[in-house]
Amino acid sequence: MATYGGGAAYRSREGLSTRPGASSDEIQLRIDPMHGDLDDEITGLRSQVKRLRKVAQEIGTEAKFQNDFLNQLQMTLIKAQAGVKNNVRRLNKSIIQNGSNNVVHVVLFALLCFFLVYLWSKMSRK
């Protein structure tokens, strides 16, 4: 195998060899015809890269869709939580108001019962 520079050819793999070009920055590549299946491999790699690019784009689209869905779900849950909080507040106010009314009703019922018992005891003595 020859070394780089100095006008000598460099052989990298079977069938591939380089030749120095007109200037020292140029390298010409020559592929032997008996190793022509590299073109088929390159074409196959291109098609695989295209498929992978499509898959990556579909994954990106799906990730964006799911992110939007999760954001909408989060907003729905925040609204539902606010609604539940308001309803609990209303329920607590209602319980406090009706609870105090219930106590008043129980006290009035007890007074009515005592009054009826008192009247019944007065009438039974006569």
% of residues, the chain, pLDDT over 90: 41
pTM: 0.43
Rounded distance between C-alpha atoms, residue 7 and residue 18, angstroms: 10
Instruction: Give me the pLDDT at residue 25, please.
Output: 63
Residue range 38-73, pLDDT digits in tens: 778 888 889 999 999 999 999 999 999 999 999 999
Q: Which residues are CB-contacts of 27 (< 8 A; sequence separation ≥ 6)?
A: 18, 19, 20, 21
pLDDT at 24: 56
Which of these ranges, 4-8, 14-18, 38-42, 66-70, has the smallest mean pLDDT?
A: 4-8
- Overall residue count recorded for the chain in this entry: 126
Quickly tell me which residue has 């539902």 as its tokens. 80
pLDDT at 17 over 60: no
What is the rounded CA–CA span in Å between residue 6 and residue 20? 9
